[in-house]
Chains A and B, each alone.
Chain A
Amino acid sequence: MELLYARDIYGKTLIELGKKDKRVIVLDADLSGSTRTAMFAKEFPERFFNFGVAEQNMMAASAGLASCGKIVFVSTFAMFATARPLDQLRNTVCYNNFNVKIVATHAGITVGEDGSSHQALEDIAILRSIPNIRIVVPADAPEARDAIISAYNTEGPFYIRLGRAKVPTIQNKRPFALGKGYILEEGKDLAIIACGIMVYQALEANKILKEKGISATVANIHTIKPIDEKFIVDIARRHKHIMVCEEHQSVGGLYSSVCEVLSRENPVKIQSVGVNDRFGQSGSPQELLDAYELSSPHIARKAESFLMAAQS
């Protein structure tokens, strides 16, 4: 199994884009080593600006640069890319619909040892209510590359959510298409829709379920906004039970997106595998995935009881 840092791929992809397009500018707020924008800085020092620990200034300045025709990549940890400069992001970047690509790393509980203050679990919920911005949560490193290139090629603000830890590369992915979900495994008993690192957990959970005679459809929805309504409705027409897995609060993220679509179009039973209104804490990524009931055995267990409850 191939394990890669999505942020390594981000750094490489930035260099690739920087080489072919002089309009590409990169901003960071004192985390360029961790986010890997330092790789771009080394190659193109004249097109990289370190704003220091001042995310609000960085975010509003990105709008000024974009107003002059630049394609601006803005990076820091997810916590400091969304909550801290939210007003700048909402009023100056998104309202003006600027070509600013926020690529945030260190999202989710798998930040690990740094603990709660650095584990963004509400970033998707915060951003999803803002018009104009597109939100992509890649499942692995190669998909992160596709998402970044897609953001580069698509006018307007983006939020791309990456993690800190190495992520296993998923086999048999479909070609990346912005705004389109896809099926990874076909099953008949229930459907598991996931995003980000939870796609891998869902596939692992399906192995456990198969041993118990349960077969699940596993789908990856990497684009949270705009959400692929047709795809979700199609899954709901074929499955009475849907589970939605995300490394995020159960409120306001992918689970909410799926519920919003299906409550209107095709109501079915939908269960959440997400963080249940709690803050994170220190620990290893695996310890935390287990403790917050996000890991594959928990997904399998929840799927089983979900189906049992339906039968009784």
Chain B
Amino acid sequence: MKKKIKSLKRKANQIRKLIIEMLATAGSGHPGGSLSSTEIIACLFFEVLRHNPKDPTWPKRDRFHLSKGHACPVLYAALSLCGYFDKEELWHLRKFGALLQGHADRRVPGIDVGSGSLGQGLSVALGMALAGKIDKEDYRVYCLMGDGELQEGNIWEAAMAAAHFRVDNLCGIVDYNRFQIDGRIEEVMNLEPLVNKWEAFGWHVVQCDGHNIEELLECFREADSTKGKPTVIIAHTVKGKGVSFMEHVVDFHGRAPSEKERKIALEELEEIESAEESIE
């Protein structure tokens, strides 16, 4: 177990470094919400999901859908580390003719449905979960949502329907980093009481520190064993996590690091990595 957690922490660090490098190279994009969901993505792609990067359309694969499509750098990084496509593609992010578009795109191996326009992802995941039920397949469906997009009515339509259709093969994850483009969630449009909302809509709700691998894995296990209703994991996270000058800074929702910032960020991430490596 300890070995597994250490390995997942290492993956998270690798993903973070790729996010910084990718966005600095692109010159635009969304670091904040990519860094806040890094552990969630690392747990999913390197532990939780049943998938085969050599066969991206394997019918029995678990599905993952990124509803917060602007956080595609974290997904692209994980997919490249899994081997879905050549890592070289990361350095063309957001460029003309690139495989890696500015928001998650279906042309990318490992991405089933593109996203970008917020609030639709839980519905997409619901459709996938229904397909699994119809086909009596045992694959699970995971949907990563941003907190800001929970302000969209479409999310709650999907939440209502998922409970109604009892899709217990569906697991939602909310990256609750408490910031959206215009500022603090509680100031722009408060979501609280968030747990009560999901419970009232008929979901099983679990909460955790979204940067704590052990807690995340425990939540995913609980979601897997919850029958008769969908589960949502409310992952409390830090926007810009891992880079001191990006943490809790709203400006880095949608601004790429400069060359100077890239260097400092990578140094910080290296330090975190070597500190973690030295703990046995």
Given contact pairs A52-B161, A57-B154, A96-B113, a sample of 16 additional A-B residue pairs in the complex whose CB atoms are under 8 Å apart: A25-B131, A52-B160, A54-B160, A57-B123, A57-B126, A57-B158, A57-B160, A60-B120, A60-B124, A61-B123, A63-B113, A63-B127, A64-B124, A68-B63, A69-B59, A88-B120
Q: Is the beta-carbon distance between B116 and A91 smaller than 8 angstroms?
A: yes
Contact between chains at A96 and B106 (CB < 8 Å): yes
List chain A residues, Cβ under 8 A from B258. Answer: none
**Most chain A CB within a 10 A radius of its CB, from B63, B125, B134:** B134
Instruction: Say yes or no: is A282 at the interface (Cβ < 8 Å to chain B).
Output: no
Verify A64–B65 contact, CB threshold 8 A: yes
Looking at B114, B127, B129, B154, the one whose CB has the most chain A CB atoms below 10 A away is B127
Interchain pairs with CB closer than 8 A, number = 101
| Given A47-B134, A91-B116, A60:B153 Cβ within 8 A | no
Q: Could you write out 30 A-B pairs with CB less than 8 Å apart?
A: A49-B130, A54-B157, A54-B160, A54-B161, A56-B120, A56-B123, A56-B154, A57-B123, A57-B126, A57-B160, A61-B124, A61-B127, A61-B158, A63-B113, A63-B123, A63-B124, A64-B125, A64-B129, A65-B131, A67-B131, A68-B127, A68-B132, A68-B135, A70-B134, A87-B117, A87-B120, A88-B120, A91-B120, A92-B123, A96-B113
Shortest Cβ distance from A95 into B: residue? B114
Q: Which 9 A-B pairs have the closest CB atoms?
A: A64-B127, A60-B123, A68-B131, A57-B157, A61-B127, A54-B157, A65-B127, A64-B124, A60-B120
Closest A residue, CB atoms, query B153: A56
Are A92's CB and B131's CB within 8 A? no
Report the separation of the CA atoms of residues A76 and B128 in the bound assembly, to the nearest whole angstrom: 21
The docked-state distance in angstroms from the alpha carbon of A51 to that of B157 is 9
Question: How many Å from the CB of B202 to the closest CB on chain A?
Answer: 14
A62 at the B interface (CB under 8 A): yes
| Chain B stretch 27-75: residues in CB contact (< 8 A) with chain A | 59, 63, 65
Contact residues of A: prevailing secondary structure: helix
**Which residues of A (56-105) have their CB < 8 Å from a CB of B?**
56-70, 87-88, 91-92, 95-96
Query: Is B112 among interface residues, defined by CB-CB distance under 8 A?
Result: yes
The answer to whether B165 touches A91, judged by C-beta atoms less than 8 angstroms apart, is no
- Output the nearest chain A residue to B139 by Cβ-Cβ distance: A68
**Quick one: closest B residue to A61, CB to CB?**
B127
Partner of B131, one of A51, A60, A70, A88: A70
**Complex Cα spacing A22 to B167, Å:** 20
Query: What 1/0 mask marks residues of chain B from 71 to 112 whose CB sits below 8 Å from any chain A CB?
Result: 000000000000000000000000000000000001000001
CA distance A56 to B65 in the complex (A): 17
The reply to whether the CB of A211 lies closer than 8 angstroms to some CB of chain B is: no
- Give, as a whole number of angstroms, the nearest-CB distance from B121 to chain A: 8
Inter-chain contacts of B135 with A (CB < 8 A): 68
- Per-residue B-contact encoding for A17-52, CB less than 8 Å = 1, 0 else: 000000001000000000000000000001101011
Give Cα A255–Cα B134 distance, bound, in whole angstroms.
Answer: 43
Asked whether A64 and B161 contact (CB < 8 A) given A56-B154, A87-B120, A92-B124, the answer is no
Q: Smallest distance from the beta carbon of A235 to chain B beta carbons, Å?
A: 39
Chain B residues with CB below 8 A from A70, complex form: 131, 134
Q: Which of B59, B130, B161 makes the CB contact (< 8 A) with A65? A: B130
By a beta-carbon cutoff of 8 Å, the part of chain A in contact with chain B is 25, 46-47, 49, 51-52, 54, 56-70, 87-88, 91-92, 95-96
Q: Return chain A residues, CB-CB under 8 Å to B124.
A: 60-61, 63-64, 67, 92
Interface size on B, residues (CB 8 A): 32
Partner of A66 from the list B120, B127, B134 (CB cut-off 8 Å) is: B127
Task: Assess A62 versus B160: contact at CB under 8 Å? Given A25-B134, A87-B120, A92-B120.
Answer: no
A95: chain B residues within 8 A (beta carbon): 114
Chain A residues positioned under 8 Å from B117 (CB to CB)? 87, 91-92
Most A CB within 10 A of own CB, among B114, B131, B132, B165: B131
A38 to chain B, nearest CB (A): 18
CB distance from A298 to the nearest CB of B (A): 42
Given contacts A54-B160, A61-B158, contact A67 B120 (CB under 8 A): no
A64 with B126: CB separation less than 8 A:
yes
Complex: A49 Cα to B128 Cα, angstroms: 13
- Residues in A whose Cβ lies below 8 Å from that of B121: 60
Which of B132, B161, B164 has the most C-beta atoms of chain A within 10 angstroms of its own C-beta?
B161
Given contacts A68-B131, A88-B120, are A61 and B161 in contact (CB under 8 A)? yes
User: CA separation between A58 and B134, bound complex, in Å?
Assistant: 17
- For residue B146, give the distance in angstroms from its CB to the closest CB of chain A: 16
Q: Looking at the assembled complex, report how far the CB atom of B224 sits from the nearest CB atom of chain A, in whole angstroms.
A: 20
User: Which chain A positions have C-beta within 8 A of B106?
Assistant: 96
Contact of A49 among B65, B158, B160, B165 (CB under 8 A): B165
A64 with B131: in contact, given A51-B161, A92-B124 (CB under 8 Å)?
Answer: yes
Distance, CA A67 to CA B120, complexed state (A): 14
CA distance A18 to B112 in the complex (A): 25
Q: How far is the CA of A70 from the CA of B128 in the complex (A)?
A: 10
A25 to B121, CA, bound (A): 20
When chains A and B are docked, how far (Å) is the Cα of A49 from the Cα of B117?
A: 24
